[in-house]
Structure 1
Amino acid sequence: MTPVVSRTTLRYMVKFQVSAIDRTFAALADPTRRYILLRLNDEPGLSVSELARPFSLKLPGMMKHLDVLSDAGLITRTKTGRTVSVNLSPGPMQEAMAWLQRYERFWTVSLDRLVALVEQDGEP
């Protein structure tokens, strides 16, 4: 059965603008992109070819990943001659960490309650 979407819902979906933090989390959802960010953290300024080397990706596939990271603001690219160097851009990651830290206390409280419940059940 195909779900029915009302015209109002469809208009809302079309007008909906993706926020910067949404782009950050969407970019981080892919393991290849997370690995690219880890490599750039360890080896800033790698060329696109150097980044693509450990993957079984062709250059167009790597460029798509880099476009997603760039659109999210997580990387910057600099062209010198024919070489494109890639570097991390920490701003969006810092915003994502700040967002996560706002909710950390809720997770911590819930986990503390779970630990207390498990420890309580373990007593005779």
Structure 2
Amino acid sequence: ILASEESVKQHGLKPLVRLLAWSVVGVDPSVMGIGPVPAIQNLLKATGLKLDDIDLVEINEAFAAQTLACAKELGLDQSKLNANGGAIAMGHPVGASGARITAHLAHELRRRGLKRGIGSACIGGGQGIALLVETV
């Protein structure tokens, strides 16, 4: 799911998306589920983009209220969130959430003919992570 530009050229691969930026943050462990919020905010600040510039957002569902709290805090348009359902609908395989989120985001952006997406997750212990991809 990930290759360097050199490998793409060397092996004649056709990428689905390009990784533009990422952000990793720490939050108080007592509110670990909110980690995607500052991670996404940092990502947007670093790239000069606004949430309105983003077509789809995938936020891991550690549990339903956690994802809803993140969406509310961000002011996220619900129609952009977890386009085909999140971990509650699809499963939450240990160690595979990042790959699942990224793959679903890449394929859904392409399927819909959209440009940019953010994938994000809270991480136990008080972390949040986010990445920004763009279709190529």
TM-score by length of 1: 0.26
Higher strand share: 2
Larger Rg: 1
| TM-score normalised by structure 2 residue count | 0.25
